[in-house]
Amino acid sequence: MRELRGTGVSAGIAIGPVKVLEEARQAVRRTVDDPRAEIDRFRQAQQVSMDQLAKLREDTAARLGEDKAELFDTHRLMLKDPDYVEGVEGLIQSDKVNAEYAVDATAQRFAAMFAGMDSPYMQARAADVQDVSRRLIDNLGSGAQAGQDGRPAIVMASDLAPSQTAQMDPTQVLGFATSQGSANSHTAILARTMGLPAVIGLGQDPRPEDQGLTAIVDGSQGLVLIDPDQKTLESYKIRQREFRERVQLLQELKGKPTKTKEGQEVHLYANIGRPSDLDAVEANDAEGIGLFRSEFLYLESEDFPTEESQFQAYKEVAQRMGGKPVIIRTLDIGADKQVGYFGLEHEANPALGYRAIRICLTRPEVFKVQLRAILRASAFGNISIMLPMITSTKEVDQARAIIDQVMEELRGRGEDFKEDIQVGIMVETPASVVMAPELARKVDFFSIGTNDLTQYTLACDRQNPNLGQFADPHSPAVLRMIRMAVDAAHQAGIWCGICGELGADRDLTATFLDYGLDELSVSPASVLPVREAIRAR
């Protein structure tokens, strides 16, 4: 048994086989005696990959819709592309090299070609050819590709990018364990949204030989056990059952008001990234959606999502929530959420760079597509718009001007929408806190993004695991920022909530109640535990 310790970021216990997600790596070059046999190996791996992609396409279409499944059609076409196949087989034949190296070398050449093109769409194909080639190399290995046996597994990796987590099938994941990451990384946020145990910051990359071994992830204690002995395994099965029983007891809070013993009421909403998260929202009795992270619609797409595809997603959420509030954050791309087809330049410090509202205001053609979709969907439910990364009243004025332009366009098209739709902002920078009194007079609500507010207030990169001891969200500086934003909102007569991960921190529930916060929006799995804490106050 091997024991790894890190930081628990999502409570619970997962027990199951390990699925190792390895980072892209260059294949080792070997000389082969029989190029013909090596070409046969390549063709066999090619067919296995085609079959896998066909299954992934079928599953994705059923789960997320036809538009999301088109990615796998693109990958299958690449696998059969004559130039690509000729490049691999020609290299094997001429240089007498192993198939893994030939695939890797061909992929690098094609990726460089795509990346050098002027079109952002074609530049994004560089990532596709790399992805297809990694699949081929995996299938050229001695073992089956991770996760292809249909068994749900514990995902282990050095770290997970938002684009990776966005395309994961929740039914195939039991828990997460990563060697890097932070409590506010997107791996952690995804785990909490899905209600799955997760440990980050283990300090050791997963070993390839761990693939398929039984593991235990204790998200409460920040502990991962690889290949546990029978006594340990049985002990954790008991703990797992007890945790599930505790979760079941919380179900008794469904339908009960989120109100303190003295009658102070707080709206308790949920954070989501896609319509499929609504099952968890409904199962945990959230009173609304306090944060719809719309950028996941972009992360899951191979090109800019159309107005119609976005409209259908927003409409589905609005209708299923049945008149309950649905707050949609406009796209927050940039920083650690990179999307190839946006064609963003590399930045030395992307957290302080071109992201969120800055992209929307300088690329209004992208912003308007999303706004049209949101406004059209507002005719089917109680939708509000939330603008991220606001630092000045000028940005709010510019965004509202674009919203007004889009409204006029929709009137001209004869489209129905909510004319009095509420527009709020994320308070997640020190500038927005300092300017809160002025900002509050221009918007309908504040929602405090504590993840970024902590990062910017304490000057600690939220993705840097080495800063965990310094990036303290309980810092008096951060709490004072929150209190200032709440007071400014109330003085202007608007409501103020929290949609960052700190909203689920029950050690601070009493503090937030004292501040007079009107709303808390948390991961679906945290709704009932937070309701319990509020009702106990």
Active site residues: 186, 499
360 and 457 Cβ atoms separated by less than 8 Å: no
- Gap between the Cα atoms of 137 and 21, Å rounded: 13
Q: H/E/C letters for each residue in 78-123?
A: HHHCHHHHHHHHHHHHHHCECHHHHHHHHHHHHHHHHHCCCCHHHH
Locate 19 and state its tokens.
């699925």
Task: Say what the alpha-carbon torsion angle 470, 359, 520, 456 is, to the nearest 10 degrees.
Answer: 20
- At 291, which helix (H) or strand (E)? strand 289-293
Q: Say how far residue 224 (Cα) sits from the centre of its chain.
A: 23
Instruction: Say how many Å lie between the first and final Cα of the chain, rounded.
Output: 43
Place of tokens 């106050």: 537
Q: What is the sign, positive or negative, of the torsion defined by CA atoms of 146, 147, 149, 154?
A: positive
The Cα-based distances of 357 to 129, 399, 427 in angstroms read 31, 8, 13
Q: Residue 385 forms beta bridges with which residues?
A: 328, 423
Q: Are 300 and 169 in contact (CB under 8 A)?
A: no
Burial 306-325 (b: 16+ CB within 10 A, else e): ebebbbbbbbbbbebbeebb
What letter represents residue 464's amino acid? N
Of 233, 203, 191, 241, the C-alpha closest to 216 is: 233
Q: Determine the Cα–Cα distance for residues 70 and 65; give it in Å rounded to an integer.
A: 9
Whether the CB-CB separation of 176 and 20 falls below 8 Å is answered with no
